Amino acid sequence: MTALASSIPPSWYLLLASAIFCIGLFGVLTRRSALYFLMSVELMMNAANINFVAFALYYGDLTGQVFALFVIALAAAEVAIGIGIILVLYRNFGTTDVTVPAEMRW
């Protein structure tokens, strides 16, 4: 496995991660539904994870991989809370469109 993976130059990983990150960012900026927003954010975080794992391999230390594990955990927690908030959002506003609620002026 190591042989297989490390035969790929690190810059490719960087490019992949950046691409995924940008996709997520695009989703964040264009989607109006909170759920899509959530997914996009997850995408961004996983892009970061790719970097961590890839460069953990590249530098040959485990820090990155372990941290990726933590990030996964945190991302999960974040989603959990996010969905909770979206839930109450839906209960109060009857929609998950983030642009609808405007009780307070921006």
Partner 1 sequence: MVNGLPAVTALLPALLLAVTGLALLLVDTIRPDARSNTSMAVVGAVGSLAALAATVWLTASGGVSPDGGAVLLFADTVKVDTLALFFTAIFASVTALVLVAAHDYFHDHANPAAFYSLVTFAATGMALLAVANSLAVVFVALEMVSLPSYVLVAYLKQDRGSVEAGMKYFLVGALSSAVFLFGISLVYAATGSLILADIASASIDGLAGVLGVGVVMMIGGVAFKTASVPFHFWAPEAYEGAPAPVSAFLSSASKAAGFVVAFRVFTEAFPLEMAVSANVDWMLSFAVLAAVTMTLGNFAAAVQEEVKRMLAYSSIGHAGYALIGVAALTVDGPANGTVMGAAMAHLLVYGFMNTGAFLFVAMAERWGVGRTFADYAGLWRRAPVASVAMAVFMFSLAGLPPFAGFFSKYFLFQAAIDNGFLWLAGLGAINSVVSLYYYSRVVKALFLDDPESPSALDAIDVRPTALYAAVVFAAVATVLLLPGFGPVIETAEAAASALF
Partner 2 sequence: MSDWIAIGALAAVGLLIPIGMMTVSALLRPSVPETGKSTTYESGETPTGGTRIRFNIQYYMVALLFVVFDIETVLLFPWAVIYRPAVQAGVPMADLLWPMLAFVGILAVGLVWAWRSGAISWARSPRATSRKTTEDLN
Does 35 participate in binding partner 2 (rule CB under 8 A)? no
Nearest in space to 24 (alpha carbons), one of 47, 53, 55 = 47
Torsion of CA 76, 90, 99, 36, to 10 degrees: 40
| Residue (81 or 100) nearer to partner 2, CB | 81
Does 104 participate in binding partner 2 (rule CB under 8 A)? no
Measured CA to CA, the distance from residue 55 to residue 93 in angstroms comes to 44
Restricting to residues 59-88, name those near partner 1 by CB under 8 A.
59, 61, 63-64, 66-67, 70-71, 74, 77-78, 81-82, 84-86, 88
What letter would DSSP give residue 7? Answer: T
Does 102 participate in binding partner 2 (rule CB under 8 A)? no
Residue carrying structure tokens 């921006």 = 106
Binding residues for partner 2, per CB under 8 A?
A: 1, 4, 69, 72-73, 76-77, 79-81, 83-84, 87
